[in-house]
Amino acid sequence: MPPVVYPSVNLFAISSIIALVVTVLVVLMLAVAAPRVRGAIYAAITLAGIGTALALAVAQSGSAPVSTFSGSWRSDTLSLFLTFVILTSGILAVLISDSWLRLHNVGQAEFYTVLLCSLVGMITVVSATDLMTLFVGIELMSVPTYLLTGFAKHEQRSNEGAMKYFLLGAFSSAILLYGFTWAFGLSGSTNLARIGEFTANGGGEARAAFLLAILLIIAGLSFKVAAVPFHMWTPDAYQGAPTVVTAYMSVSVKAAGFGALVRLMTEAFPGMYREWGIVLVVLSVLTMLLGNVVAIVQDDVKRMLAYSSVGHTGFMLVGLAVWTPENRLAVASVLFYAFAYVFANLGAFGVLAWMENHGGGTTLDHMNGLFGRAPAAAGALSIFLLGLMGFPLTVGLPAKIFLVQATIEADYLWLGIVLVLLSALAAVFYLRVMFRMFMYEPRYALASPSQPLMVIGLVASVVGTVGLGVFFSPVWEYAQRAAGA
């Protein structure tokens, strides 16, 4: 009998998700053992757990890349950068969710459990270097987000959004899996690096079949990141979901989805970048165009932001689409954008959630005269919208600049100019909200419950949006290192 060989396992490399899983167990046990706990105890435990995970990720950031679990998991600067992005969005999400959960008397333990599970999934997605692990991560990320979307279970729209998201999501997972099987069948390996070796010369005789695999994979992941024409679920799911959930998933799922795209395209199919580059260029132009144009005609700010987030997916796709083996800026610009987007977009949805908690709505009319009623909220929302617009002194400007820079490096200047012109178009709907807040007379009254954690979360987002707008260079350098790894 041959001796059993245990794979060498480095538990430190997965310590972040271990911390999160332990937190899940603690939260669940607490809910069973002491069902009547009050106050922010669940939020505190969850924050502590995510904070620990973040600290563990920071602790790993100094060391060399670690590949473990038979090469199916890698902890390197790329995965760590995205882990920071994801955990940051997790922390901010917990901060802004607390008051919504309490006002609506929704199960806090369940909410945080599901949220933590989705974080585990996302970290798995960005760290996986094996198709199987990647797929497990994607499912672990997706299923909790379907649940979160339907978390306001007495609201029809929340249910409808969750159902739509679930059905289309399952469909896309199937397409993705089909693409994975093609890639596995052709190359004989599920390991990304192995597939990369196989496709290094363009796939040889299996070239056409590999192209099919790539197309299927891009289609599957395009659902996750909401790229046109696979974005149909986005407006309904984003609008139907509780606003705090939209805030969270619009940034974190996107970051994780792009992590998967980056890993797959640059590690499994680097030799075929001309082919998938063209596909992504087309997708990015369509996505930018549709997202930003359709957003203009929306009357509901939440739905408008949903379409605008489709537009931002298009911007980020530009960064990846211009990837070449020599272009160091392509991946770095996507990473930086993902990080920038966390603060601005999560913050913008966060302010909408804040208004809903105060008895306001999310239509344009509800924005009227907000500055007179709640100057801080209006100011914060303006900063977030300016950030999304790409205005100087907010994080959106360097983020867009780096994308344009990446397009120039790759001799794709026209794509950069399309990006820039559509950003100008996007200013139309962001401005409209700001005009309503500052220049119209108020129409609806707002109640004033106290939301201490929400305020902390929003202030942190403002600090992130403005602070990174001025002192962007450390993050940018880190993103470049991550892209080079």
Place of tokens 């760290």: 127
Q: How many CA atoms lie within 13 A of 485 on its CB side?
A: 26
Instruction: Write down the least CB distance from residue 481 to other proteins, Å.
Output: 12
Instruction: Rule CB under 8 A: say whether 401 interacts with other proteins.
Output: yes
For other proteins, the binding residue among 132, 439, 463, 484 (CB under 8 A) is 439
How many CB atoms are located within 10 Å of the residue 211 CB? 18
> CB–CB of 23/46 below 8 Å?
yes
Instruction: Write down the least CB distance from residue 332 to other proteins, Å.
Output: 13
Task: Rank residues 69 and 478 by Cβ distance to other proteins and give the closer one.
Answer: 478
Spatial CB neighbours of 360, under 8 Å, sequence gap ≥ 6: 366, 444, 446
For other proteins, the binding residue among 18, 408, 455, 459 (CB under 8 A) is 408
> CB–CB of 331/406 below 8 Å?
no
Instruction: Write down the least CB distance from residue 393 to other proteins, Å.
Output: 6
Instruction: Rule CB under 8 A: say whether 293 interacts with other proteins.
Output: no
Chain centroid, CA 376 distance in Å:
26
Task: Rank residues 249 and 415 by Cβ distance to other proteins and give the closer one.
Answer: 415
Task: Rank residues 358 and 400 by Cβ distance to other proteins and give the closer one.
Answer: 400
Spatial CB neighbours of 205, under 8 Å, sequence gap ≥ 6: none
Chain centroid, CA 22 distance in Å:
23
Task: Rank residues 291 and 416 by Cβ distance to other proteins and give the closer one.
Answer: 416
Please tell me the distance from the alpha carbon of residue 362 to that of residue 353, in angstroms, as a whole number: 8
Instruction: Rule CB under 8 A: say whether 431 interacts with other proteins.
Output: yes
For other proteins, the binding residue among 420, 446, 456, 459 (CB under 8 A) is 420
User: Which of the ranges 63-71, 85-93, 305-313, 434-442 carries the binding residues for other proteins, by CB under 8 A?
Assistant: 434-442
Task: Provide the 8-state DSSP code for 130.
Answer: B
Instruction: Write down the least CB distance from residue 235 to other proteins, Å.
Output: 24
Instruction: Write down the least CB distance from residue 61 to other proteins, Å.
Output: 19
Instruction: Rule CB under 8 A: say whether 413 interacts with other proteins.
Output: yes
DSSP assignment of 158-207, as one string?
A: HHHHHHHHHHHHHHHHHHHHHHHHHHHHHHS--BHHHHHHHHTTS-GGGH
How many CB atoms are located within 10 Å of the residue 106 CB? 16
Please tell me the distance from the alpha carbon of residue 365 to that of residue 149, in angstroms, as a whole number: 25
Instruction: Rule CB under 8 A: say whether 391 interacts with other proteins.
Output: yes
> CB–CB of 66/10 below 8 Å?
yes
Instruction: Rule CB under 8 A: say whether 476 interacts with other proteins.
Output: yes
Task: Rank residues 229 and 392 by Cβ distance to other proteins and give the closer one.
Answer: 392
Task: Rank residues 372 and 449 by Cβ distance to other proteins and give the closer one.
Answer: 372
* CA geometry: angle 400, 405, 410, nearest 5 deg: 130
Instruction: Write down the least CB distance from residue 324 to other proteins, Å.
Output: 15
> CB–CB of 443/372 below 8 Å?
no
Query: Quick one: tokens of 244?
Result: 């705090």
User: Which of the ranges 9-17, 172-180, 208-216, 413-421 carries the binding residues for other proteins, by CB under 8 A?
Assistant: 413-421
Instruction: Rule CB under 8 A: say whether 423 interacts with other proteins.
Output: yes
For other proteins, the binding residue among 400, 458, 481, 482 (CB under 8 A) is 400
Task: Rank residues 207 and 328 by Cβ distance to other proteins and give the closer one.
Answer: 328
Binding mask 351-390 for other proteins (x = CB under 8 A): --------------------x--------------x---x
- b vs e for 253-280, b when ≥16 Cβ sit within 10 Å of the residue's Cβ? bbbbbbbbbbbbbbbbbbbbbebbbebb
Instruction: Write down the least CB distance from residue 83 to other proteins, Å.
Output: 24
Task: Rank residues 164 and 312 by Cβ distance to other proteins and give the closer one.
Answer: 312
Instruction: Rule CB under 8 A: say whether 421 interacts with other proteins.
Output: yes
Instruction: Write down the least CB distance from residue 377 to other proteins, Å.
Output: 16
Please tell me the distance from the alpha carbon of residue 243 to that of residue 273, in angstroms, as a whole number: 38
Instruction: Rule CB under 8 A: say whether 472 interacts with other proteins.
Output: yes
Where on the chain is the footprint of other proteins (CB under 8 A)? 371, 386, 390-393, 400-401, 404-405, 408-409, 413, 416-417, 420-421, 423-424, 427-428, 431-432, 435, 438-439, 471-473, 476-477
